[in-house]
Amino acid sequence: MNRTEIQTLGEFGLIDRLTSGITPKDSTTIKGIGDDAAVLDHKSYRTLVTTDILLEGVHFNLEYVPLRHLGYKSAVVNISDICAMNGRPTQLVVALGISKRFSVEDIEELYSGIRIACERYGVDLVGGDTTASLTGLTISITCIGEAKKDDVVYRSGAQVNDIICCTGNLGAAYMGLQLLERERIASAGDNEQAQKAFEGKEYILERQLKPEARRDIVLKLGEAGIRPTSMIDISDGLSSELLHICKASGVGCSVYADKLPIDYETAAMAEELNMDVVTCALNGGEDYELLFTISQKDYDKILPLEDVSLIGYIQKAEYGCNLVTRSGNEIKLKAQGFDAYSE
Ligand code: ADP
Ligand code: MG
């Protein structure tokens, strides 16, 4: 593949290359790329804003993460945060710090992933910043969204007796990461060996490398006339997110180990690695599923929704936050989460 040094284009040339052909499509975007600031119009809606920073070596490892996937995932994790507010993601802003190691083609590859995510979720890329960095790649993405005032769902709304729900399945992205890490060391660059080890494990790899935001669930909840009482996206692991909801809402909870949704590949990988699959489901990060609570009155409405599991109940604060094991024992939930500072 060609390698064009970034100096040959310069900052403005690079921005032009990266943003060529990008035109706003959403009706809330008045002005996108090309001025000192983007101009948005959310009318009578609430504006939602979220940002995430991703540092090479801390949040991603380019030895096994393709740049296109990295771009996609960087956008999706932000879009997921807007979904977790029960909002509609509308715009994205991308800031990059790029070291000399990266060519124009590399950054275009990253952008191809960001563009695919924008198209898939109907989000306009409306601006950013581009600068040189001394070491590695830094990606900071901000996502903007909107929701009607009464539709916004906070972490703080869970009530005693509410039903705790989660989407999709848990622990898969973490198992994917464990597999990638193991093969990075075991295969030491031998692609063929790594490919063999990945056979039959495509799902957990995809969950790690190409996560999706559950915009579909937000739409389905709306159609079903269900407004969750609280919601959060699962980026650091179920335990950690449940504790966030309970703390913000001033309540406790019971979740049942045998209700946790776990995919077959996740269970098989955990067994292969001699790990407890429930622990992986509770503490594995980066699933980007939605965790939410609903009022008991919405029980009949939630049942027909596909890909939603009912995993427990909200309790009084005095009860604490507990996992009920298969044998009926109660274990206090701990936030072992996924912490970039812990390594
Ligand atoms: P300023 O000097 O006002 O910071 P820039 O020259 O950095 O402007 O950017 C020019 C335009 O290109 C702005 O609209 C900015 O939002 C956009 N832009 C800069 N970098 C990126 C990027 N990496 N991705 C998308 N848009 C970008
Ligand atoms: Mg700038």
CATH code, domain with 33: 3.30.1330.10
Q: Taking Cα atoms as reference points, which of 231, 223, 218, 83 lies closest to residue 153? A: 231
* Residue to probe by mutation, ligand 1, list 35, 94, 130, most atoms within 8 Å of CB: 130
* Residue ending a domain, choose from 108, 126, 148: 148
**pLDDT of amino acid 271:** 97
Q: Whose CA is nearest to atom 1 of ligand 1?
A: 36
Above pLDDT 70, what percent of the chain?
A: 98
Structural domains of the chain, count: 2
Q: What is the CATH number of the domain that holds 307?
A: 3.90.650.10
Q: Would you place residue 2 in the very low, low, confident or very high pLDDT band (cuts 50, 70, 90)?
A: confident
Going through 70-137 in order, the beta strands assigned E by DSSP cover 88-98, 124-132
| CB 92 less than 6 A from any atom of ligand 1 | no
Q: Would you place residue 340 in the very low, low, confident or very high pLDDT band (cuts 50, 70, 90)?
A: very low
**Any domain includes 143:** yes
Sheet arrangement for strand 88-98: 46-55, 138-147, 88-98, 124-132
Q: Would you place residue 341 in the very low, low, confident or very high pLDDT band (cuts 50, 70, 90)?
A: very low
Q: Taking Cα atoms as reference points, which of 6, 311, 317 lies closest to residue 165? A: 311
What's the pLDDT tens digit per position in 35-87?
999 999 999 999 999 999 999 999 999 998 999 999 999 999 999 999 999 99
User: In this structure, are 162 and 85 located in the same domain?
Assistant: no
User: In this structure, are 165 and 223 located in the same domain?
Assistant: yes
User: In this structure, are 198 and 102 located in the same domain?
Assistant: no
| CB 96 less than 6 A from any atom of ligand 1 | yes
Residue 95 CA, ligand 2 centroid: distance in Å: 9
User: In this structure, are 170 and 129 located in the same domain?
Assistant: no
User: In this structure, are 140 and 200 located in the same domain?
Assistant: no
pTM: predicted TM-score of the whole model, two decimal places: 0.94
Residue 337 pLDDT greater than 70, yes or no: no
What's the pLDDT tens digit per position in 238-271?
999 999 999 999 999 999 999 999 999 999 999 9
User: In this structure, are 103 and 39 located in the same domain?
Assistant: yes
Structure tokens at 211: 């996560």
User: Which helix (H) or strand (E) segment is 143 a member of?
Assistant: strand 138-147
What's the pLDDT tens digit per position in 127-158?
999 999 999 999 999 999 999 999 999 999 99
| CB 91 less than 6 A from any atom of ligand 1 | no
Mean pLDDT value across residues 106-124 = 98
Residue 215 pLDDT greater than 50, yes or no: yes
User: In this structure, are 84 and 121 located in the same domain?
Assistant: yes
Q: Whose CA is nearest to atom 22 of ligand 1?
A: 128
Mean pLDDT value across residues 154-181 = 97
Q: Whose CA is nearest to atom 7 of ligand 1?
A: 129
C-alpha to C-alpha distance for 300 and 304, rounded to whole angstroms: 8
Residue 190 pLDDT greater than 90, yes or no: no
User: In this structure, are 56 and 134 located in the same domain?
Assistant: yes
What's the pLDDT tens digit per position in 80-112?
999 999 999 999 999 999 999 999 999 999 999
Angle, helices 104-121 vs 6-19, to 10°: value is 10
Above pLDDT 90, what percent of the chain?
A: 92
Please tell me the number of the ligand nearest to residue 91's CA: 1
Q: Would you place residue 189 in the very low, low, confident or very high pLDDT band (cuts 50, 70, 90)?
A: confident
Domain range for 18: 6-148
Residue 343 pLDDT greater than 80, yes or no: no
Burial of 94 (0-12, 13-18, 19+ CB in 10 A): buried
What's the pLDDT tens digit per position in 10-47?
999 999 999 999 999 999 999 999 999 999 999 999 99
Residue 127 CA: nearest ligand 1 atom is: 16
Residue 342 pLDDT greater than 50, yes or no: no
User: In this structure, are 213 and 82 located in the same domain?
Assistant: no
Cβ atoms of residues 209 and 191 within 8 Å: no
Residue 5 CA, ligand 1 centroid: distance in Å: 19
Q: What b/e sequence results for 310-338 when a residue is b if at least 16 CB atoms lie within 10 Å of its CB, and e otherwise?
A: ebbbbbeeebebbbbeeeeeeeebebbbb
Residue 292 pLDDT greater than 60, yes or no: yes
